[in-house]
Amino acid sequence: MSPVSQSAPGTFTFPVRVYYEDTDTAGIVYYANYLRYLERGRTEWLRALGVEQLRLAQETGLVFAVRSLSIEYLKPARLDDQLAVLTELTLPGRAQVTLKQWIERDGETLVEATVRVACLDARKMKPAALPAEIRRKMGAE
C-alpha cells in the first residue's frame, strides 16, 4: 500500500500500521486509538489537498476542531495489522464539514464514523467561514 492514495473518486486513503503501543494486553487495538487513526486520516486528507493546518493557523488564525463524532466499532484490529483509514467529504458547509470515515483491513470494514469538523477563529474560538480556496480544494464549491 502506498503511503497515501486517492481511492475511489472523492475518497482519500491513508495507511496505518498497528503497533504494540496501540493495543491492550490481548493485542487488540484499544478503542480510543481508533480516534487517533481517524485524526491522522483527516490531517493527511487536508495535506493531500494542499492545506497545511499549522500554516493556515499562522496565516489566517483559523483552526479546525471536531464538533461531533459518531462511531461504530464493528470488528477488532490487532497488533501488526495494516489498516487503511478512508475519508470522504459528505456534507460541505460554510463553517463546518461532515466527513464519513472508516477503517478497513484487507477491504473489510472494522470501524465506521461520521465526523463533523468546524472551522474556528482561534482567537475568539467562534465559528468562521472556511476560505473559498479551501472549499474549492475540498470540492465543496
Q: Environment class of residue 20 by beta-carbon count within 10 Å: exposed (0-12), middle (13-18) or buried (19+)?
A: exposed
Q: Give the rounded percent of residues in the chain with a pLDDT score beyond 70.
A: 93
SS3 52: coil
Does the pLDDT value for residue 6 go beyond 70? no
SS3 89: strand
More confident residue, 7 or 141: 141
Active-site positions read 24
Confirm if 38 and 95 have CB atoms less than 8 A apart.
no
As a whole number, mean pLDDT of residues 97-116 equals 98
As a whole number, mean pLDDT of residues 99-122 equals 97
For residue 107, name the pLDDT band (cuts at 50, 70, 90): very high
For residue 140, name the pLDDT band (cuts at 50, 70, 90): confident
Q: Give the rounded percent of residues in the chain with a pLDDT score beyond 90.
A: 89
**Phi and psi of 9, rounded to 5°?**
-50, 130
- Which amino acid makes up residue 80? D
Predicted confidence at residue 1, as pLDDT, reads 44
- Per-residue pLDDT of 9-56, as tens digits, reads 589 999 999 999 999 999 999 999 999 999 999 999 999 999 999 999
Which DSSP category does 61 fall into?
-
Domains along the sequence of the chain with CATH: 5-136 (3.10.129.10)
